[in-house]
């Protein structure tokens, strides 16, 4: 078994898990945070995206030992008590989601993008979510939602 310490959504956890577990499995099955989804399991679809020390990663590709000592943000960590994060709110308002399965990963990729680049062009938005597949929306309203979030967060 591997002992690890990690912080998830500002909560510290100490876990004892078999070393061949992935961060995705630990988040979903040991911590019960099922907001992060499992899609392709191979790092090709992006639905398992979480922030690890501020950067987006495919959590299905991170071994649990590699997450030791790291700060993880999952979708559950974005909203504050009763208020949605502006990106979440923008997705709600602009229809940036349909079935919702890609949404947690998509929103976190959007967050990583806007944290680094608060006023992205449309091309930069598309590059920022290039690792997140969506099968429902055709991306149109996702891009619109991220633009709106950028506007709202930039205080325009």
Partner 1 sequence: MITFYRRLPKFNYLAPTTLDEALSLLAQHQGKARVIAGGTDLVPKLKRREIGEPDYVIDLKGIAGLDEIKQDAHGLTIGALVTIGAVETSPQIQQKFGILAQAAQSMASPQVRNRGTIAGNICNAVPSADSAPALLTIGARLKLISQKSQRTVGIEDFFTGPSRTALTDEEILAEILLPDMPPNSKGVYLKLTPRRAMDLAIVGVAAVAVPEDGVCKDIRIALGAVAPTPLRAKKAEEVLKGQKFDDNLIEKAAKTAAGQARPIDDHRASAEYRRDMVEVLVRRAIKQAIGSQP
Partner 2 sequence: MSELSVIGQRVPRVDAWEKVTGQAKYAADYSLPDMLWCKLLRSPYPHARILNIDTSKAEKLPGVKGIVIGKDFGGWSWGWMPATRDETPLAVDKVRYMAEAVAGVAAVDEDTAEEATGLIKVEYEELPGVFDPEEAMKDGAPKVHDYVKNNISVEYHWNFGDVDKAFAQSHLVREDRFRTARATHGYLEPPAILAYYDPTGYITVWASKQSPYFHYRHLAACFKVPLSRVRVVQPFIGGGFGGTKNDSLGGDFCAVLLSKMTGKPVKYIESMEEELATSRRRHSVIVYSKMGVDKDGLLKAVQHRVVADGGGYTAIGPLSMYLNGFMTTLPYKLPHFKFDAYRVFTNNPIGAAMRGHGVTHTRFAAELQMEMLAEELGIDPVEMRMRNAIDNPKPGETYETINKVTLKTCGLKQAIKEAVEDPVWRNRGKMPKKEGDISWGVGLSGTSYSGGARQMGHQACAAIIRLCEDGTVNLITGATDCGQGSDTVLCMIAAEELGIKLEDVSIKRVDTAYTPVDPGSYGSRVTILAGQATQKAARQVKKQLLEVAAKNWQVKPEDIEIRLGEVYLKSDPSKKMPFIKLAHIACYSGTGAVIMGTGYSSYGIELLDLTNGIGNGGCSYSFTAHTARVGVDMETGQITTTDFTIASDCGRLLSPIQAEGQIEGGAIQGLGQALYEDFIMDKGKTLNPTFLDYKMPHALDVPNIKLIDIVTDDPFGPFGAKETSEGSIVSAPPAVVSAIHDATGIWFKELPVTPEKVIKALKEKK
Closer to partner 2 by Cβ: residue 40 or 119: 40
Of 5, 55, 92, 115, which one interacts with partner 2 (CB under 8 A)? Answer: 92
- Considering only residues 16 through 55, tell me which ones interact with partner 1, judged by CB under 8 A: 18-22, 25, 38, 41-44, 46, 49, 55
Residue 153 binds what, of partner 1, partner 2, none (CB under 5 to 8 Å, by partner type)? none
Coil/strand/helix, residue 54: coil
Q: Tell me the site size for partner 1, rule CB under 8 A.
A: 33
Residue 93 binds what, of partner 1, partner 2, none (CB under 5 to 8 Å, by partner type)? partner 2
Q: What string of H, E and C letters represents the secondary structure of 75-101?
A: HHHCCECCECCHHHHHHHHHCCCCCCC
Closer to partner 1 by Cβ: residue 21 or 141: 21
Q: Which residue has the tokens 């349909």?
A: 98
Residue 19 binds what, of partner 2, partner 1, none (CB under 5 to 8 Å, by partner type)? partner 1
Binding flag, residue 57, partner 1 (CB under 8 A): yes
**Cα–Cα dist 110/87, whole Å:** 8
Range 37-41, long-range pairs (CB < 8 A, 24+ positions)? 37/101, 37/102, 37/104, 37/105, 39/101, 39/102, 39/133
Cα–chain center distance at 99: 16
Q: Which residue has the tokens 């030791």?
A: 68
Binding-site ranges for partner 2 (CB under 8 A) = 28-29, 33-42, 44-45, 47, 74-76, 78-79, 84, 88, 91-95, 97-104, 107, 125-127, 129-130, 132-143
């Amino acid at each position: 078994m591997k002992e690890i310490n990690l912080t998830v959504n500002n909560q510290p956890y100490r876990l004892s898990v078999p070393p061949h577990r992935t961060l995705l499995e630990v988040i979903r099955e040991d911590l019960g945070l099922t907001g992060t989804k499992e899609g392709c399991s191979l790092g090709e679809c992006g639905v398992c995206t979480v922030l690890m020390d501020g950067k987006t990663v495919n959590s299905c590709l991170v071994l649990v030992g590699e997450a030791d000592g790291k700060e993880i943000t999952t979708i559950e960590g974005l909203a504050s008590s009763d208020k949605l994060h502006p990106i979440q709110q923008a997705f709600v308002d602009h229809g940036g989601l349909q079935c919702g399965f890609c949404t947690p990963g998509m929103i976190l990729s959007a967050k990583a993008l806007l944290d680094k680049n608060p006023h992205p062009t449309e091309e930069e938005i598309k590059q920022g979510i290039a690792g997140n597949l969506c099968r429902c929306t055709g991306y149109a309203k996702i891009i619109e939602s991220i633009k709106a979030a950028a506007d709202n967060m930039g205080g325009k």
